[in-house]
Amino acid sequence: MKGNLIVGQSGGATAVINSSLAGIVTEAMGNSEVGEIYGMLDGVQGLLGENMIDLRRRLSNPAALEMLKRTPAAALGMCRYKLNEAERERLLKTFQKHNIRYFCYVGGNDSADTCHRMAQMARESGYELYAIGVPKTIDNDLPDMDHCPGYGSLARYLAIATQDSGIDTEAAALVHPVKIIEVMGRNAGWVAAAAALGKTSPEQAPHLIYTPERALDPQQFLRDVRHIYALYGHCVVVIGENVKDRTGKALGAHGEPFFVDSFGHKYYPGPANYLSNLVMRELGLTARYDKPGTLQRMSMACVSETDLQEAFMVGQAAARLALAGETDKMVTLLRQNGPNGEYGCVTGTTSLLNIANSERKMPASYINQEGNFVTQEFLDYARPLIGGPLPTYFRFDRKQLVAHP
Amino acid sequence: MKGNLIVGQSGGATAVINSSLAGIVTEAMGNSEVGEIYGMLDGVQGLLGENMIDLRRRLSNPAALEMLKRTPAAALGMCRYKLNEAERERLLKTFQKHNIRYFCYVGGNDSADTCHRMAQMARESGYELYAIGVPKTIDNDLPDMDHCPGYGSLARYLAIATQDSGIDTEAAALVHPVKIIEVMGRNAGWVAAAAALGKTSPEQAPHLIYTPERALDPQQFLRDVRHIYALYGHCVVVIGENVKDRTGKALGAHGEPFFVDSFGHKYYPGPANYLSNLVMRELGLTARYDKPGTLQRMSMACVSETDLQEAFMVGQAAARLALAGETDKMVTLLRQNGPNGEYGCVTGTTSLLNIANSERKMPASYINQEGNFVTQEFLDYARPLIGGPLPTYFRFDRKQLVAHP
């Protein structure tokens, strides 16, 4: 049926969320069923105020589309907003008013929930709407798919950053031999695990990786660091920001809150801050920490070309599905390797409800027995996702000293 | 005179310190006066244990030299170590024992001090030694030169990171409209200032830059943020980690220490942590902060090709000077633009003592009247240092909304 299409972006930034937008618009532009192509500003929250722009006009120039593809973060703006029943009704009226029949929403769990509820309400009220979710999250924790668009670029960034930070820590071993890198990833360890992808030998960073799938006992942590330091003279640790201890308490909450707000809410330092102080106090080793924060989400300088292409592909697939009359689904990425084992990936679908209600943690087989590193199985899984090879750095063999006559 | 050459690296990492090492070795290899070419592991501290490697052998392959040039951080390892008189005597004996006549030391103020004292001691004891310092610091605070190797790459990294973080903050303005980025730079603002190099319009990040040259009153900071937020709906702040208030107190020390060690030393959060809490409490705006830490020092993914070349050039110049019989000097970089104003740079020299005893802050003309941003004069100064053009990103004009019929 002929109608207009709207696309929105939602949730945290990635390096490739705009590539998905470009994929949706490219597919929609090539289909004569589509009338106008609208972009909602700031997701459904912005659409409550009918803040829409005309993407057919704004992206008519192929060079603009190409530039958009390589622009990190959400060009349309995003929100984290849970619509209530009345607001959903308002949005449906807006869809009707503008004859919007195709709705593509790029995001993670919460956005899938929003998209699902809109699809459901349209169905119940007899309004023909084809609502399709487009996956996006650096956390890589959406179910029913091999991996999530955005993760490959995050993984490439962290692999490189950890190598950089690692050779610095090695070079500075006499000054600050312990480095802790605190990374994102919500309740799953995919993000922290990615830091291992640049490692090519045991003495190289990272030496320890702690993911939220396993509780971390601060005393065990100290034993691990002491062991690595004894072996190599330096130690690089990567830790997920939500790693907890055996009682389920956030690691940073072991120390004192550094700030209490006017409501009495306590703010604790992150685990890296807490653990680096612990290392200094208990092991007498100087420790530093890096917290790349939002920078890790969306570095275009470290984008994975594979991720960029796949993000475009899921965008195209979403528009194609909507136009084929599918609704209440999310596009997925399914691995389908070639005949010689070369990496390949195709799109599939799952129900939006599946996505909305679950998160996918790392399987046990991706984390080692000790709970302090990833396994080869994880590395084999993740390596194809980061695009081309990583930079290789020069290293002197420090054991080949000039003989002292 | 025929003799052996030794090279060491010292102080914090940069992306291009190994390019200087490659420059020194390349020049030394091409000169028949030079016998052996030694690398000291971990600077003078390692040399106290005679930890030296044979660079002529290790770098005989041109591909190895090329790879070394593009490896961040100090491949030879570094130290922060102040030699006492007895240790300097020991090092001089080591020089004599190995017939080391040429000494190139890559580093900043403290390394210049070490290099100067070794030159002085050699002179006083009648040992012919040619000791030359090679400048290196991301802080850009060495006197007597236009800029320091390492700064251009740091500047490129921060300009890109601030753009990335900025478009994310703009996209997420409904969720976390204030972003504070805490950067390095010791007592000077060169590092923080570099964040402005990617900005091409007033609404773009960064909106506020605070450097240690100016005291920052927290109340003025809040007024600045409120003003920018009112204008653009979001605000990106860059702040040097050592910015102080009018009484000379570190900004983070306004809050509670989050940790007190067993010696009673208090550990305070950095200014970004403190100020983001202040924004949330006083302005009711959600604020986040990034602290890229050591990652900003040495990202090879964001290296400035200009910086990489100049670092090689100062290395070559240092070896050339030593071999020409100069001593107790540091190589400098002097701007010498071409006839049509195109950027150019040549090497010069200054005394090591000058470098050891002073730091170069930003001139007043590089900071605006209000003390919350840089001037065009700074941008003109710094832009040629970051190498090629920065990536340009796509932006929708959010004012061109679809007319609501």
Percent of chain A past pLDDT 70, that is, above it, reads 96
Do the chains contact at B393 and A289, CB–CB below 8 Å? Answer: no
Alpha-carbon distance of B132 to B127, in angstroms, equals 15
Confidence at residue B163, expressed as pLDDT on a 0 to 100 scale: 95
Note whether B392 contacts A: Cβ–Cβ < 8 A. yes
pLDDT in tens, A121-162: 999 999 999 999 999 999 999 999 999 999 999 999 999 999
Identify which has the larger pLDDT, A172 or B270: A172
Note whether B399 contacts A: Cβ–Cβ < 8 A. no
State which H helix or E strand residue B278 sits in: helix B271-283
Do the chains contact at B256 and A261, CB–CB below 8 Å? Answer: no
Asked if A22 contacts A9 with a C-beta cutoff of 8 angstroms, the reply is no
- ipTM, two decimals: 0.94
Chain A residues in contact with B280 (beta carbon < 8 A) = 261
Confidence at residue A171, expressed as pLDDT on a 0 to 100 scale: 96
DSSP state, residue A401: P
Catalytic residue among B113, B139, B224, B307: B139
Average pLDDT on B327-354 reads 97
Chain B residues in contact with A403 (beta carbon < 8 A) = none
Chain A interface mutation, best of B163, B392, B394, B399, highest count of A Cβ atoms under 10 Å: B394
Of the candidates B357, B400, B54, the one whose C-alpha atom is nearest the C-alpha of residue A52 is B400
Chain B interface mutation, best of A168, A169, A303, highest count of B Cβ atoms under 10 Å: A168
pLDDT in tens, B237-257: 999 999 999 999 888 777 666
Nearest residue, CB atoms, A394 vs list B64, B98, B405: B64
Note whether A263 contacts B: Cβ–Cβ < 8 A. no
Q: Say if residue A257's pLDDT is above 80.
A: no
Alpha-carbon distance of A15 to A295, in angstroms, equals 10
User: Residue B293: pLDDT band by 50, 70, 90 thresholds?
Assistant: confident
Which residues are registered as beta bridge partners of A335?
A: A345
Of A318-332, A385-399, B268-282, which gets the smallest average pLDDT?
B268-282
- Decide the pairing of beta strands A130-135 and A100-107: parallel
Q: Which of residues 350-379 of B touch A (CB under 8 A)?
A: none
pLDDT in tens, B46-56: 999 999 999 99
Nearest residue, CB atoms, A164 vs list B288, B300, B394: B300
pTM metric for this prediction: 0.95
The encoded tokens of residue A241 equal: 């920001």
Note whether B61 contacts A: Cβ–Cβ < 8 A. no
Asked if B102 contacts B7 with a C-beta cutoff of 8 angstroms, the reply is no
- Establish whether the linkage from the previous residue to A363 is cis, with ω within 30° of 0: no
Do the chains contact at A174 and B77, CB–CB below 8 Å? Answer: yes
Chain A residues in contact with B22 (beta carbon < 8 A) = none
Chain A residues in contact with B397 (beta carbon < 8 A) = 53, 58
Of the candidates A275, A177, A182, A246, the one whose C-alpha atom is nearest the C-alpha of residue B259 is A275
Note whether A39 contacts B: Cβ–Cβ < 8 A. yes
Confidence at residue A222, expressed as pLDDT on a 0 to 100 scale: 98
Do the chains contact at A400 and B289, CB–CB below 8 Å? Answer: no
Of the candidates B249, B268, B241, the one whose C-alpha atom is nearest the C-alpha of residue B185 is B241
Render the burial of B10-37: b for 16+ CB within 10 Å, e for the rest. bbbbbbbbbbbbbbbbbbbbeeeebbbb
Chain B interface mutation, best of A153, A162, A291, highest count of B Cβ atoms under 10 Å: A291
Alpha-carbon distance of A53 to A38, in angstroms, equals 6
Q: Say if residue B105's pLDDT is above 70.
A: yes
Alpha-carbon distance of B139 to B336, in angstroms, equals 22
User: Residue A255: pLDDT band by 50, 70, 90 thresholds?
Assistant: low
Do the chains contact at B168 and A258, CB–CB below 8 Å? Answer: no
Min distance A154 CA to chain B CA atoms (Å): 13
| Rg of chain B, C-alpha, whole Å | 23
Q: Which residue of A has its CA nearest to B292?
A: A292
Confidence at residue A67, expressed as pLDDT on a 0 to 100 scale: 97
Catalytic residue among A139, A141, A307, A328: A139
Note whether B183 contacts A: Cβ–Cβ < 8 A. no
Chain A interface mutation, best of B203, B295, B296, B398, highest count of A Cβ atoms under 10 Å: B295
pLDDT in tens, B188-214: 999 999 999 999 999 999 999 999 999
The encoded tokens of residue A336 equal: 């389908």
Q: Say if residue B160's pLDDT is above 60.
A: yes
Note whether A279 contacts B: Cβ–Cβ < 8 A. no
- Residue A378: CB atoms within 10 Å: 23
Do the chains contact at A269 and B290, CB–CB below 8 Å? Answer: no
- Residue A88: CB atoms within 10 Å: 17
Q: Say if residue A266's pLDDT is above 80.
A: no
Asked if A343 contacts A336 with a C-beta cutoff of 8 angstroms, the reply is no
Note if B139 is an active site residue. yes
Please name the residue that has the structure tokens 């990040």.
B205
Note whether A393 contacts B: Cβ–Cβ < 8 A. yes
Do the chains contact at B164 and A81, CB–CB below 8 Å? Answer: no
Nearest residue, CB atoms, B53 vs list A77, A165, A402: A402
Do the chains contact at B256 and A258, CB–CB below 8 Å? Answer: yes
The encoded tokens of residue B335 equal: 């701007």
User: Residue B300: pLDDT band by 50, 70, 90 thresholds?
Assistant: very high
Q: Say if residue B262's pLDDT is above 70.
A: no
Listed in sequence order, the residues at least 6 apart from B52 whose beta carbon sits closer than 8 Å to its beta carbon are A401, A402, B6, B38, B39, B40, B41, B98
Q: Which of residues 88-147 of A touch B (CB under 8 A)?
A: 97-98
Question: How does the average pLDDT of chain A come out, rounded?
Answer: 94
Note whether A170 contacts B: Cβ–Cβ < 8 A. yes
pLDDT in tens, B117-130: 999 999 999 999 99
pLDDT in tens, B174-188: 999 999 999 999 999
User: Residue A39: pLDDT band by 50, 70, 90 thresholds?
Assistant: very high
User: Residue A269: pLDDT band by 50, 70, 90 thresholds?
Assistant: confident
Nearest residue, CB atoms, B171 vs list A52, A78, A293: A78
Q: Say if residue B259's pLDDT is above 80.
A: no
Alpha-carbon distance of A381 to A379, in angstroms, equals 5
- The gap from C-alpha B123 to its chain's centroid, in whole angstroms, comes to 32
Min distance B44 CA to chain A CA atoms (Å): 12
DSSP sequence for B128-175: --EEEEEE--TT---TTSS--TTHHHHHHHHHHHHHHHHHHHHHTTTT
Q: Say if residue A364's pLDDT is above 70.
A: yes
Alpha-carbon distance of B196 to A317, in angstroms, equals 39
Confidence at residue B266, expressed as pLDDT on a 0 to 100 scale: 65
Q: Say if residue A405's pLDDT is above 80.
A: no
Percent of chain A past pLDDT 90, that is, above it, reads 89
Of A170-174, A252-256, B154-158, B307-311, which gets the smallest average pLDDT?
A252-256
Identify which has the larger pLDDT, A270 or B383: B383
Nearest residue, CB atoms, B58 vs list A175, A280, A396: A396
Do the chains contact at B174 and A395, CB–CB below 8 Å? Answer: no
Note whether B293 contacts A: Cβ–Cβ < 8 A. yes
Do the chains contact at A299 and B164, CB–CB below 8 Å? Answer: yes
Asked if A371 contacts A208 with a C-beta cutoff of 8 angstroms, the reply is no
Q: Tell me how far CA of residue B293 lies from CA of A179, A181, A207, B290, in angstroms.
A: 11, 10, 19, 9
Alpha-carbon distance of A350 to A331, in angstroms, equals 7
Chain B residues in contact with A402 (beta carbon < 8 A) = 36, 38, 50, 52-54, 98
Do the chains contact at B258 and A273, CB–CB below 8 Å? Answer: yes
pLDDT in tens, B384-393: 999 999 999 9
Question: How does the average pLDDT of chain B come out, rounded?
Answer: 94
Confidence at residue A260, expressed as pLDDT on a 0 to 100 scale: 58
User: Residue B342: pLDDT band by 50, 70, 90 thresholds?
Assistant: very high
SS3 of B220, please? helix
Largest CA distance in chain A: 91
Nearest residue, CB atoms, A168 vs list B36, B255, B298: B298
Average pLDDT on B49-74 reads 96
Min distance A155 CA to chain B CA atoms (Å): 14
Across the A:B interface, residue pairs with CB atoms under 8 Å apart total 257
Q: Tell me how far CA of residue B323 lies from CA of B1, B23, B101, B261, in angstroms.
A: 8, 14, 9, 50
Alpha-carbon distance of A14 to A205, in angstroms, equals 25
